[in-house]
């Protein structure tokens, strides 16, 4: 993004600065956007900026960001003491507040009241329906869900889901803005519990838990089959793309040939929801701690994951899907 282009753009606002909100700050500022930050809890907001400073310092230390770029990025971020000052003149608001309907509704009343007239009001919610959050709001037409994958400054996919009142123009502007940030917006047409991504994740996790609970394999076996097996393909192709590559005639031939095998297999899956009771959580957590080491190692594992995902994305953009 050129400086002239960045100057001509209106600012954006990040409201709510937990783990997701702070990551969004980096997404916007890295893409050249003036990023205004507000959190009703000023200590949390300060912590988010401290995290940003530390994360960027790491990037400089690893040589993936220049000192100049780091300074420029941080200069684009400003902390605001109240909502009206954070929201004045913005083009887009990314809200990442608590996941309770009444709380979200109260936040959206405030956002709608204070945000510049044409600003899009987007929510990071992973669970709530914008039709209900924005119900009765004067500006319901500019409210939309933009649900990222944690952490959005590393993982690009964002689920975009309009509410019943959201205008098509707001959908288009949201997708365009997210794309300009380097994110991958995915438009959903209809609300479903968990949207799409977390439903697919839950389907796999349910089967993963069942494989351990029923004694087919252990925690490490499940994880190895994903990270050394299915995950290597899914980092490049989704389930339909993978199926398409499994027969010379593509998905059509593959499903025609193996449809009945799939039916048999799907019918054999255990449809029961795991209990998540103490004994189950203890068994799975003990296995996972044996595999991953002490919880004190988690920050190191996440730093490694983020580093490798970035390198993987560089690989993919350097050798794009034919």
Q: Does 266 bind a second copy (CB under 8 A)?
A: yes
Do 1 and 27 meet the contact criterion of CB atoms below 8 Å apart? no
Closest-CA residue to 164 (of 125, 131, 121, 123) = 131
Q: Does 171 bind a second copy (CB under 8 A)?
A: no
Compare residues 64 and 256 and give the one whose CB is closer to a second copy: 256
Do 174 and 151 meet the contact criterion of CB atoms below 8 Å apart? no
Among 8, 117, 189, 279, binds a second copy (CB under 8 A): 189
Question: Which strands make up the sheet holding 120-123, listed edge to edge?
Answer: 77-79, 35-38, 12-15, 92-95, 120-123, 143-148, 157-162, 184-187
Q: Which of the residues 81 through 110 are near a second copy (CB under 8 A)?
A: none
**122 to 161: interface string for a second copy, x by CB under 8 A:** -----x---------------------xx---xxxx-x--
Do 117 and 90 meet the contact criterion of CB atoms below 8 Å apart? no
Among 82, 188, 213, 279, binds a second copy (CB under 8 A): 188
> For residue 151, is the peptide bond before it cis, meaning its omega torsion is within 30 degrees of 0?
yes
Q: Which of the residues 231 through 260 are near a second copy (CB under 8 A)?
A: 231-241, 243-246, 248-252, 255-256, 259-260
Q: Does 204 bind a second copy (CB under 8 A)?
A: yes
Query: Contact region for a second copy (CB under 8 A) — 100-108, 110-118, 171-179, 288-296?
Result: 288-296
Minimum CB distance to a second copy, residue 216 (Å):
5
Give the whole-angstrom CA distance, residue 305 versus residue 308.
5
Cα dihedral 257/258/260/264 (nearest 10): 170
Compare residues 58 and 72 and give the one whose CB is closer to a second copy: 58
């Amino acid at each position: 993004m050129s400086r002239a282009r960045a100057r001509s753009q209106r600012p954006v606002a990040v409201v709510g600065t937990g783990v997701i909100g702070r990551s969004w700050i980096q997404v916007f500022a890295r893409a050249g956007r003036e990023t205004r930050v507000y959190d009703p809890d000023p200590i949390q907001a300060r912590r988010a900026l401290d995290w940003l400073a530390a994360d960027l310092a790491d990037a400089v230390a690893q040589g993936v960001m220049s000192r100049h770029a780091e300074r420029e990025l941080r200069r684009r971020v400003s902390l605001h003491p109240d909502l009206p000052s954070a929201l004045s003149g913005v083009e887009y608001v990314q809200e990442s507040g608590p996941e309770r309907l009444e709380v979200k509704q109260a936040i959206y009343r405030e956002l709608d009241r204070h945000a510049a007239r044409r600003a899009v009001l987007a929510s990071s919610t992973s669970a709530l329906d914008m039709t209900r959050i924005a119900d009765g709001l004067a500006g319901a037409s500019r409210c939309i869900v933009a649900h990222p994958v944690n952490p959005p400054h590393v993982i690009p996919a964002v689920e975009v889901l309009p509410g019943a009142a959201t205008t098509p123009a707001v959908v288009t502007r949201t997708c365009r803005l997210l794309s300009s940030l380097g994110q991958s917006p995915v438009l959903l047409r209809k609300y479903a519990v968990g949207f799409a991504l977390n439903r697919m994740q839950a389907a796999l996790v349910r089967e993963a838990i069942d494989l351990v609970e029923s004694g087919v394999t252990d925690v490490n076996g499940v994880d190895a089959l994903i990270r050394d097996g299915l995950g290597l393909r899914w980092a490049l192709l989704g389930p339909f793309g993978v199926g398409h590559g499994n027969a010379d005639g593509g998905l059509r031939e593959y499903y025609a040939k193996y449809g009945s095998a799939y039916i048999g297999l799907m019918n054999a899956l255990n449809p029961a929801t795991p209990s998540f009771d103490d004994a189950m959580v203890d068994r799975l957590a003990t296995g996972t701690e044996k595999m991953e080491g002490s919880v004190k190692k988690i920050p190191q594992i996440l730093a490694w994951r983020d580093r490798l995902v970035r390198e993987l994305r560089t690989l993919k953009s350097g050798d794009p899907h034919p």
